[in-house]
Structure 1
């Protein structure tokens, strides 16, 4: 994984010193909150409902065990003993004291981490596939490109104050596990007829008040010209993006109102000047960055497969973990393990300091010192030998992290909601907890199969409810928290936005409503292998709407 060079270290150190002085001035009263606000946002510090919240960047979701231990240390020393992993592959601390922020940032800098560009109208933390560099279906490891984008975008003089925040996601596989079509710019690796690797570029995707699927603006941008093409898009957005209305300031609105072809013509004009210039990626620089992401020193441990069915008989819990929480690896004899942060009845995405330290220990011993954060708010050990699987599982059991529900109905994406967020209209976490308890029985989850529920506490859609197979949106109506239900969303390469079925439900009615939808699906699926999203696409709204609201 990438290691700071001299510029990185100096840059982060200077920023810590600058912000430490700004915090001192805020505490002393030299700065008002209004004056302090833009300064703290540039350093990932939010003021939420009850306290400050610090969002720490985890570039493209990759961590070393040393960094993970530091995250646990910060949770224990400066917060309430836990952190919350987010859909942008970051971690948030919900209860830090303002006076401690400089010390937290200094601790982060000591392990090559920071909170820069995790908020504000800038290019945010670039996200990618949690299995990048390990997945069997991968065309190219996207993390070197993600690192190059990080370096290019960090405090880019033209893009520090964009019309609105800007999000980029990248995947090196044809199976999209990074929701690239729901980002301002999404990149998917491609090969042309000559076998050269390039990038399909999608623009104008996003969720929030106006969910839109990104549009293909260029089907193949050569590897060496990608930065020039990205800069061309950003220049057009920075020039024409609206600054008079924050609800219409995202690039998706610009693409929608002006039309893809108009925007594409502008981008191509910019690209004609930028292509072949200073933004062309030199081979030497590509080699330098790629060297940080070389494959681990894999060994032949003599185990190339595991009889999962046999393990399910011998130890059902372990067998279920193997079935749900392992992912095919490009290297024979290895697998990737998803560590669920969705315990039955727990708060999705949360991990205690002790659990972070346990994951760090397992990563150091069994995964070449590497951990990933997924956009689905879980953790991943990307390179685990099959011969070590049982030892890793036992370690996860000891840490309370062995829930075998990856991809199942209890593996929900959930925003912090009204328990923390000042923008929220309704609580999200208690809804997720109630659904989790209702469907927590292993046999029930297995019967249902792969099903993605995503929950947001407001229209800003931080819980990605628009792309849940079942989406739940909390709204406020006459002082009551209501929950709208959408069906048919999908964040994969088959991207779709869910449709609202009808009136919302009060909180205590939501688990029953979800159960009626699930029962309708099970009753009408053609085989046990037909997934919920496939059944919905075949059947349409009618049977599910009837299950929710009856014939009337």
Structure 2
């Protein structure tokens, strides 16, 4: 993991002190609400439907065990759901004592950040001081700036990796933080980087997607796509450069952002994202970026060119951890022991198949801890669970965990001979569901239960579908299916990229849901990134689980087999089209 320098640490502590001063001036009336709003947003503080919401930056998804424990402490000591829920309850509920009080928790987002939904602003300064004590903050997690840069959660450990993207993400994080030209863009701006052959970071869905690769001469560089995004207008990024030498990546991104800053719409926030500019201008935009890049490199001297010494300096923070007493080769008896354990424990065998991935070090594995279970909203992690994961990461993963864009946590440094012990510990903690990439491993935003922008609730829909599919045999028979749920068109639940997407819409003040099929985030099992297509009119909340069930029964009846391999859901949808699924979905309402 990247180690903060003295400068980094001093910067974060000074920012926390500035925010404390701003809060005190706002509380005393020296700052108006309008003056205070951009200041709190620049530190990650929103005001949502019922209470303030804090978004904490987790650059490229990496968390230390110390940071996990502080996040648990924030949830336990500063999150106040009881007071807020009690305040919102009806008088009858209060009198009868039937107010259901929630657990203190954090929420993992699809941008690999962490959110808290119930911290009062009166405690905000204390929370920021606590986060700063473990090198955390909320800087640039909101506002019209370059947001948290995300990566593949297997960065640095994946067998299919060409180069580790984390050093580049860290260099760019430092460069973009409070960059004057990037602080007031026409709209928010998101960058994702991957260094593997498989795109596990959904790069083509980002404002800028960077994919590390090597050219025919073996030189390292980036494939660059620009103008991807979801929201009202789902767009797949346009490839701007098939290959750019790595040294110039910041010069090129500077050119991309300068042109966007110059021509991006500021009169209409719904048309302000860079995807609208790229789509509208097409080749003209590409030409303008090319000209700006030439200006930066040839006339300005390439001020943001990355020297090898700087890459080496930052890369030194991302070397494999020293694991005391461990060998760097696979114990020859370890795999045999795993087979024996798997034969004795069928649930462990399924967990190995679904939640455990190969590692570039043959003696290690990458393990996903699933937070998707009944009565727990996707992405939510209780304070106790965060403490438990901190302990598991210390014991089994060199004190490191990573947030995935599918709202789980990964332990990237697990030895093969520790897998059974880890499974037992995760099982006892309720984090060993063998459902990774299956239907119940769904993505969902907090929706109307929390978000002021939402048209409909996401969490009850996720819970109802999860309740229908509790049989692991049934889930495995259905195979890999990406189900994504958003409570509004802003698409925080990435519904556009779901094999099955569910979008909450408002009809005459009531909650309805559109269902889409055939979306993809660009991963190996999903194929090229593309948005799903709507199947018919919207459905009521009570109909949605039945619609999903009808769609899946249709899939089972028409899928094809090749040898022992069953056709995946997304493959069937692409082969036969939407008509059979539309008919099945529409039958639900009749």
TM-score range, shorter chain: over 0.9
What is the match of residue 547 of structure 2? Answer: 513
What is the match of residue 320 of structure 2? Answer: 295
Structure 2 unmatched ranges of 5 or more: 81-103
* Residue 522 of structure 1, CA deviation: 1.0
What is the match of residue 48 of structure 1? Answer: 48
Tell me: CA distance 1:306–1:241, structure 2 relative to 1, closer, same or farther (3 Å). Answer: farther
1:522 aligns with 2:556: yes
- Check whether the contact 1:308–1:322 (CA below 8 A) recurs between aligned residues: no
Distance 1:503 1:376 in 2: 28
What is the match of residue 283 of structure 1? Answer: 308
Give the alignment partner of residue 263 of structure 1, picking from 266, 273, 285: 285
- Check whether the contact 2:228–2:237 (CA below 8 A) recurs between aligned residues: yes
Q: What is the TM-score of this pair, normalised by structure 2?
A: 0.91
What is the match of residue 359 of structure 2? Answer: 329
Distance 1:305 1:502 in 2: 50
Tell me: CA distance 1:312–1:264, structure 2 relative to 1, closer, same or farther (3 Å). Answer: same
- Check whether the contact 1:470–1:485 (CA below 8 A) recurs between aligned residues: yes
What is the match of residue 74 of structure 2? Answer: 74
- Check whether the contact 1:308–1:323 (CA below 8 A) recurs between aligned residues: no
* Residue 369 of structure 1, CA deviation: 1.4
- Report the aligned-residue RMSD: 1.5
Distance 2:337 2:425 in 1: 21
Give the alignment partner of residue 427 of structure 1, picking from 407, 432, 457: 457
1:182 aligns with 2:205: yes
For residue 303 of structure 2, give the secondary structure of its aligned residue in structure 1. Answer: coil
Distance 1:214 1:132 in 2: 22
- Check whether the contact 1:305–1:333 (CA below 8 A) recurs between aligned residues: no
* Residue 311 of structure 1, CA deviation: 4.6
Distance 2:292 2:16 in 1: 36
Distance 2:303 2:337 in 1: 53
- Check whether the contact 2:330–2:362 (CA below 8 A) recurs between aligned residues: no
- Check whether the contact 2:191–2:206 (CA below 8 A) recurs between aligned residues: yes
Query: What are the Cα deviations for residues 509-546 of structure 1, in whole angstroms up to 9, with x where unaligned?
Result: 11111001011111111125211111111111111111
* Residue 345 of structure 1, CA deviation: 3.5
Listed as ranges, the matches of 1:364-375 within 5 Å are 364-375=394-405
* Residue 550 of structure 1, CA deviation: 4.3
Listed as ranges, the matches of 1:380-459 within 5 Å are 380-459=410-489
For residue 201 of structure 2, give the secondary structure of its aligned residue in structure 1. Answer: coil
Distance 1:309 1:431 in 2: 38
* Residue 437 of structure 1, CA deviation: 0.7
For residue 158 of structure 1, give the secondary structure of its aligned residue in structure 2. Answer: helix
What is the match of residue 461 of structure 1? Answer: 491
Paired residue total: 551
Structure 1 unmatched ranges of 5 or more: none
For residue 512 of structure 2, give the secondary structure of its aligned residue in structure 1. Answer: strand
- Check whether the contact 2:208–2:228 (CA below 8 A) recurs between aligned residues: yes
* Residue 506 of structure 1, CA deviation: 0.7
Tell me: CA distance 1:306–1:370, structure 2 relative to 1, closer, same or farther (3 Å). Answer: farther
Query: What are the Cα deviations for residues 245-272 of structure 1, in whole angstroms up to 9, with x where unaligned?
Result: 100000000001111x211111111111
What is the match of residue 188 of structure 2? Answer: 165
- Check whether the contact 1:342–1:403 (CA below 8 A) recurs between aligned residues: yes
What is the match of residue 83 of structure 2? Answer: none
Query: What are the Cα deviations for residues 182-206 of structure 1, in whole angstroms up to 9, with x where unaligned?
Result: 0000011111011111100000000
* Residue 310 of structure 1, CA deviation: 5.6
